[in-house]
Structure 1
Amino acid sequence: MHPCPCPQTCLRIYDLDDPDHEEVPEVADFDPDDSFDSIALASGGLDSTTVLAIAISQGFRPLPLTFRYGQNHSIETQQVGLIAHSLDLPPPLILDLPFDHIGGSALLGSSPIPDEPQQGASQREEIPTTYVPARNLVFLSLAVAAAEARSVRDIWIGVNALDYSGYPDCRPEFLEAFLLAAHRGTREGSNQSDQPWWRLQSPLVEMSKAQIIRTATELGVDLSLTLSCYAPDSEGQACGRCDSCGLRRRGFEEAAIPDPTRYQNHG
């Protein structure tokens, strides 16, 4: 994969389906004057991409917001650009965060990513090593900052509390607490006396992975563009062995929909 020569708010799109990885001729640059009416956290994965499609189906034009935070799977930022292009959305705003200087997560290289799928959320007693400390708290705070700067009030996030990896910042109670903090700690939130300003949209929170896949399929999402893996190779192929790959694979099986994921390992 060629490195992107552009500034940090720029993304060069690549066609990962092309065996030679030829660059799509168009270069997608974040344009501060582009039209959007909401902010959507986007990772290039199945869940956040489905949320983008849901937002569009409800008449919104969200700006995808994604982050380079030192993650091992940084290829996801390139996927966000490709997905935004496919959905005719504004090019993503990409922000750099020094989570890799903080550590504390296998996704940041602090420890090996588990090879075998871990226990399901309902059976898990410990938070998995792939949890990134306070990641969604930081991501949502920056989403609110970007939204407040543009006087838009809707924030979209693809967290899922039913079929997830046991992360505390994917739970409904976290979202409720964050929303309260946003109303108390921002200009737009504190200026509203008649009704709350911020609207935190989390349409997947009570869905299973199979339901999410069915929803995405019904909305015409090209799921082959999405990448859920914690340890993809430089070609964008999923490892097929991490917790996220396991959840994704089982979701396609339960949804009875062919899995378009390119895996390194099968079986």
Structure 2
Amino acid sequence: DCEILLGIGSLLTALSLNGLGKMGRRGFGTFSVAIREGAREFRRFTDRRGVLDVKVIGKVVDITLRSAIEYVESLHSERGQFRGLPPLSSVSRLRIDPSHYGVKLEKEPIILKKGVPVFSIHLVSIGGRGVMRALEELQDFFYRPGRIRRLYGSPTATTRYGHAQDFLTSNKYCWYLGLPRSQRGTGYISRAERRASPLHLAVHREAALITSLLSTDWPKEIRWKGGGVSRTITLSEAMLVKTHCEVLAYLEEYVGKLGYSYRVVYP
């Protein structure tokens, strides 16, 4: 039974938290998932049409994770002593204490209350905005011109951080939104060909889901180049934890500034 729950739960989770296709992490290719028959454990999370209610996706993840732990006994290490960040993006209840790394945060996300989860799901209520408007507004967070335009009124606005700059660009955090991020020899340059963002966006009819994953599968270092200046950024575990927390905190500010309600639904 646990194998069946693990298989179906993994499929439901993947189809709810991501879209299909090249831009699946950015809200495109998102669709509703209907359960026609079987999967009795999950049917209680559907509406009268049999469509999965994304607002309770955390409960689906819980069932799936319990099934995975039961199926793979080696995962018992999650309950043991602190062993650092996972080497790969993982669905887990593990939480990290930033103070373990001596990290001091300028901005703190709401998930920090009980430690930083290495896997979390955030629900953004769309209300009457409609899917396309929500898609455009939330997707703009991942691109500097759109993000600055939404927050400051113009992509070329002069802010407290400088001309056409914001918290992410000023702190050199934009690499966390995906590598490479370079144009005409400037930006973030890595020897690795690419590393996708650990933030996934899926926009459904009534709500959007933003998934965040914290792990160490990044290049050991990257280089930032701009304005005739070059800087090497070492991606230590402490740097990953600090960046993860502050990017999430800034995302919360962004979503709030646009008038959305936002809450963590997992863990």
TM-score range, shorter-chain basis? under 0.3
Considering only CA atoms, is the larger Rg found in Structure 1 or Structure 2? 2
Greater relative CO, 1 or 2 (CA 8 Å, sep 6+): 2
Give the TM-score, by structure 2 length.
Answer: 0.22
- Higher strand fraction (1 or 2): 2
